[in-house]
């Protein structure tokens, strides 16, 4: 009997994008008003995740990955360089909460940008969990497309990431599980 390899967690922080280098890797991030795009080529089983803070382009033209346009381009181009086929790429979008009442609704702007980018580029959107007023912990397995979303309160974010008793349930490709 062959024992499957243990899952390897890869953290994606603000302004970063990462590809899964191995089939057992799970990409993980914490989101408030930021948005994470999870993209994959389902035939090759390769994919990645980005985490952007602001919609659109960098007004100073430094192509900073904290801006959605550059972050999305970086993720797509990295997947294409690894052999992904553009017409097969599927996307899932997460985050964009307005967690602080009375401040600008940057979460709404991030959501609108992410959806528009996916539409404009002709990618297939297979799942999303956007908006609202609560943060999210996202775990994405590019090899299968499985996603687990754990809602978190902004003030409890640190505690939720350290809870040893929480287990992420398995979900089918393209499905999002909220608990």
Distances (CA, A) of 52 to 7, 42, 73, 111: 25, 23, 12, 11
Given a contact cutoff of 8 angstroms between Cβ atoms, the answer to whether 96 and 114 are in contact is: yes
Picking from 132, 131, 101, 126, the residue whose alpha carbon sits closest to that of residue 113 is: 131
- Spot the catalytic one: 10, 30, 34, 130: 34
Distances (CA, A) of 51 to 18, 83, 110: 9, 22, 11
Report the run of H or E that residue 119 belongs to, with start and end.
helix 106-121
3-state secondary structure 11-27: ECCCCEEEECCCCCEEE
Whether 34 is catalytic: yes
Residues with a catalytic annotation lie at 34
């Amino acid at each position: 009997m062959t024992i499957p390899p243990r899952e390897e967690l890869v953290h994606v922080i603000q302004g970063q994008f990462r590809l899964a280098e191995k089939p057992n890797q799970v990409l993980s991030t914490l989101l408030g008003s930021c948005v994470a795009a999870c993209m994959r080529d389902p035939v090759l089983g390769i994919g990645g995740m980005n985490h952007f803070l602001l919609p659109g382009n960098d007004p100073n033209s430094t192509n900073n990955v904290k801006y959605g346009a550059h972050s999305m381009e970086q993720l797509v181009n990295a997947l294409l360089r690894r052999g992904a086929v553009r017409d097969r790429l599927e996307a899932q979008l997460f985050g964009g909460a307005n967690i602080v009442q009375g401040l600008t609704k940057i979460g709404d702007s991030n959501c609108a940008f992410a959806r528009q980018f996916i539409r404009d580029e002709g990618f297939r959107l297979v799942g999303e969990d956007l908006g609202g007023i609560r943060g999210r912990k996202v775990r994405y397995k590019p090899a299968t497309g499985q996603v687990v979303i754990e809602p978190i309160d902004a003030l409890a974010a640190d505690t939720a990431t350290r809870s040893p008793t929480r287990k992420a349930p398995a979900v089918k490709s393209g499905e999002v599980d909220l608990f």
